[in-house]
Chain A
Amino acid sequence: MELPFSSFRFDDLFNRLDHYSRFSLRADALSGLTVAVMGVPQAMAYALIAGLPPVWGLYTAMVTCVVSAALGSSSHLVTGPTNAICMVILSLTAHLPEKYGYSLLEIVLLLTFLTGAIQFLFGILRLGGIIRYVSHSVVVGFTAGAGVLIAANQLKNLLGIHFEERPEHFYEVLKLTILELPHSNYYALILGLATALCVVFLPKVNARLPGALIGIVVSGGIAYFLGWHLPEMGANKVEIVKDIEPIAATLNLFHFPQLIAPPPFELTRELGVGAIALAILGLIEAASIARAVAAQSGQRLDFNREFVGQGAGNIVGSFFSCFAGSGSFTRTAVCYKSGGKTRMSAVFSALWTATTILLFAPIANYIPKASLAGILIIVAYSMIDKRRLVITWKSGKHSRMVLFGTLISTLILPLEYAVFVGVFLSIVLLLRVTGHTDLTQLVQRPDSGFDEIPFSRAPQSEVVTVNMEGDLYFAAAEDLDYELLKCLTPKTRVVILRMKRLRAVGSTAMAILEHFDEILKSKNMHLVVCGIEESLKDVMTGSGLRRQIGEQNLFYADNKLFQSTELSLARAWSIVEMERRRNQAASKSPINLDTSITVESILSRRILRFGNQHQIREAVWLISEMMKHIKKKNAQPLFLQNTEGKLDSELTLSVVLKTLGQNLRNEELDALSDEKLGKKLREEFRIRINTIARKDLPKIEKSTRLETAVCLLREHDSHTLPVCDEDGRLIGMIAPIDLLKGLGEALDFNPEKEMPNA
């Protein structure tokens, strides 16, 4: 087994270091700073979600972040404390210290270690692809549910109230909060609301203002200078970070987790399930965030390596007082947008966080707990992605079930089980055969209508028309093959499949068609398909199935009811008739089985043509007029014909521009106004285009083979190939994109499979 990072070489490292320090160091340092400014308050607040000392959040934002960045794959993923993960940590661990008598911190470290080990294993075993099967609805639903929980849990911190006993459930938290409402601490509430207002409104004034940071500094300042944090305030004393656990200005983080060697069996077993949930949730989060950023940056991701990075981050983190972390959406987005170039920007964010601890720890100790709660209430609100919820609600009953199944289970079940529920729901729905694919035979009535009849009662005929109806998922495909075969009788020569009423994933329908076509061919029968919708048609083109079945046997869905069915019936009967005649003739000639792709099937007939006697002015006018109607940006040449209508030469945009600009002097390039530039260009307008057009064009006809066309493109070093008939008259052209399409078809590309993950 090859390890994901086995290709490491030292000389390579030094070359890259040299290159790196010259180009990206500054950008990464700056973006790291931006991330840290935003991340420090976030990290402290998230620790509060998990019920842990805020300083642990900072540790996690440093150690876990550095290790995951060093071993991961994404250039912009910033790992550290995240809201949803912290909520799960709280749900997993809050009740354990009472039960087992270990300290909460040690229990959390064991959980961190277990989570990391599971994630690391996922990466090493190359299970990265699995994440693709978890529906996005799970992430949306879970995050929204966690948002509700966080808001409910933070109300008490915002209001500065304390519970006598620890509530188990979501509704108990709400109940206790309402009961305790009369004991609210208004000083805490003011600070919390002030911070929340800063978080919401400052970025609206200027997008570069770090709202959370300013919020805690301002509210902390108010509390400190008015003495609200002092014990003299009595019941109205505002709780500050120092009261939970003081942050010391040292970086002496190493702490061997006592419960690791050897782990207490009972506790480990209880934590194990949670650790699996946490590991999966962390990986889903990190992978989907990394993917979202890679879609913008164009980076190619290695999910297995990402998993190894996440796992290692948590394992190492458990030795440095960190709780489990994952990719943070907000910090990752900030990292990319603020110009981070490599994984070093995440490392820099950790360094800046460390600097913050060393320089500002004494001050950070005076941040009020209510201010952090204020930040969290806003975070919780933004976790409920209203737009996505609406979109998912509208996108069909399956996504709806997954989304709200997950959301509701976050509120009623222990949070770790909600993760499993979500993953389970999306896998079940993926595999499930919803409803059934109903197969009936269509039999033509004398008055030209159709009857739908079960297979068993249908009369034997040379032509069998099968109507497919319902939803189709891939797990049902094999059964369907078997069912389809039941329609065959000894008399059958042609089978028509009507797909109009079939709702299926393109690839699934494709697999069935392909397989069924092969079966029929092996039985020397024919397949005709009708009612093919536009989306299916695209998939069929890409997979080469249109060629396999043959264009003459395919009929596309039309608005008129049964129109494509009627056409396909006509085709089917003509096949039967042809066979009959061939059998009568009894003289068998060898059939040409040449399946080469020729220029005919890929050429585009929309071309720009013009007489070769004109001046440049007229050519420029014509092309610019034509361009008004073409949305595509790729440059098409103008093909010139002689007086007999035969292809004479080719005029590319580049040659026209070169000729127009030939008298522009270098020193005036930056000085000419548009008006003067136009005048200069017009000076060349009278040049005849046949003096500048390219005449040595390759000869291509409809029957030219794909491979020949590709070779001609290379030999002629041109961008397009004109296609002519036998008389040399232009009938179309081939651009490189057409050749690529042809190659895709020849290589049996399947559109659903060829798109890379990122």
Chain B
Amino acid sequence: MPDTLARDLMTKRFLRISTAHTLRETMGIILYGEQKKHDAGAIAVIDQEGDFAGIITPQNVVLGLLNDWTPGKDDPQKDAFLKSTETHLSKTIQDILPPKQPSVAPDATLARLIKLAGESEYECIPVIDEGRVEGLVYQTDIFKAAAGVALNPETDGIG
């Protein structure tokens, strides 16, 4: 039987925000909030009904602010860029929410998590139980666990 499950790997303390938060507020939370200490880089999004809606990362926020801005020929571009960015600050999390990524139940096996993490560059995989996010399994934790079962502490090293 499998020994390591999603339940054992997940982080239970993580940041949640609502779909109604603006990108400006989200930046405030990421840069100056509690998150700063963990620098975990993944935030669970909760919709208006209180249900789990997805995961956003600083990358989603950066790309949401950039939107479709492209550098023109004229220099300096900095002002045009900042102007464009500023207009997108009032967008909400709902506007930039990426399509729902896979999630797992608390009893998902390590093997399943490895398969999922290999599918795409997910920062983390949410663990859902009865519609609630119980925790987040970060890619780094999956990697650590995979390395833990695969490596042989005595013989492995750089040879």
Contact = CB atoms under 8 A, between A and B. Distances in A.
Interface of A: 19-20, 23-24, 75, 296-300, 339, 341-342, 542, 594-596, 614, 617-618, 620-624, 627, 632-635, 652-662, 664, 666, 668-675, 677-678, 681-682, 685, 705-708, 710-711, 713-714, 718-719, 735-737, 739-741, 743-744, 746-747, 749, 751, 754-756
Give chain A's interface secondary structure class: helix
B55 to A, nearest CB: 13
Contact of A661 (B78, B115, B140): B115
A756 to B, nearest CB: 4
Given A653-B143, A669-B109, 12 more contacts: A341-B49, A657-B143, A670-B2, A670-B111, A674-B149, A685-B150, A710-B65, A713-B63, A736-B41, A754-B32, A755-B29, A756-B28
B112 interface: yes
B150 A737 contact: no
Contacts of A635: 121, 123, 138-140, 143
A621 B71 CA distance: 42
Nearest to B25: A756
Given A657-B146, A755-B29, A737 B139 contact: no
Contacts of A666: 115
Nearest to B84: A707
Interface in B125-148: 131-132, 138-144, 146-148
A610 to B, nearest CB: 9
B40 to A, nearest CB: 4
A681 B111 CA distance: 10
A707 B45 CA distance: 27
A23 B148 CA distance: 39
A658 B150 contact: no
Nearest to B124: A633
Contacts of A744: 27, 31
Contacts of B89: 747
B123 A746 contact: no
Contact of B63 (A299, A655, A661, A714): A714
A618 B50 contact: no
Contacts of A657: 114, 117-118, 139, 142-143, 146
A755 B35 CA distance: 12
Identify the 10 closest CB pairs spanning chains A and B, nearest first: A658-B118, A298-B16, A754-B28, A634-B41, A624-B147, A678-B149, A736-B59, A736-B58, A707-B81, A681-B150
Which of A20, A300, A341, A659 has most B Cβ within 10 Å?
A: A300
A652 B151 CA distance: 18
B117 A654 contact: yes
Contacts of A653: 117, 139-140, 143
Interface in B65-113: 65-66, 69-71, 76-78, 81-82, 85-86, 89, 109-112
A341 B58 contact: no
Interface of B: 1-4, 11, 15-18, 20-21, 24-25, 27-33, 38-42, 44-46, 49-51, 57-59, 61-63, 65-66, 69-71, 76-78, 81-82, 85-86, 89, 109-112, 114-115, 117-124, 131-132, 138-144, 146-151, 156-159
Given A621-B147, A633-B140, A756 B109 contact: no
Given A632-B40, A675-B149, A542 B66 contact: no
A744 B61 CA distance: 12
A673 B1 CA distance: 5
Contacts of A681: 114, 146, 149-150
B105 to A, nearest CB: 11
5 contacts: A668-B111, A672-B2, A746-B82, A754-B31, A755-B32
Contact of B38 (A24, A618, A633, A654): A633
Contacts of B119: 654, 658
B50 A341 contact: yes
A300 B93 CA distance: 12
B101 to A, nearest CB: 13
Nearest to A336: B50
Nearest to B89: A747
Contacts of B159: 618
A747 B147 contact: no
Contacts of B3: 673-674
Contact of B18 (A299, A669, A711): A299
A620 B18 contact: no
Contacts of A678: 149-150
A547 to B, nearest CB: 13
Contact of A622 (B117, B139, B158): B158
Contact of B39 (A617, A632, A739, A749): A632
A696 to B, nearest CB: 15
B122 A654 contact: yes
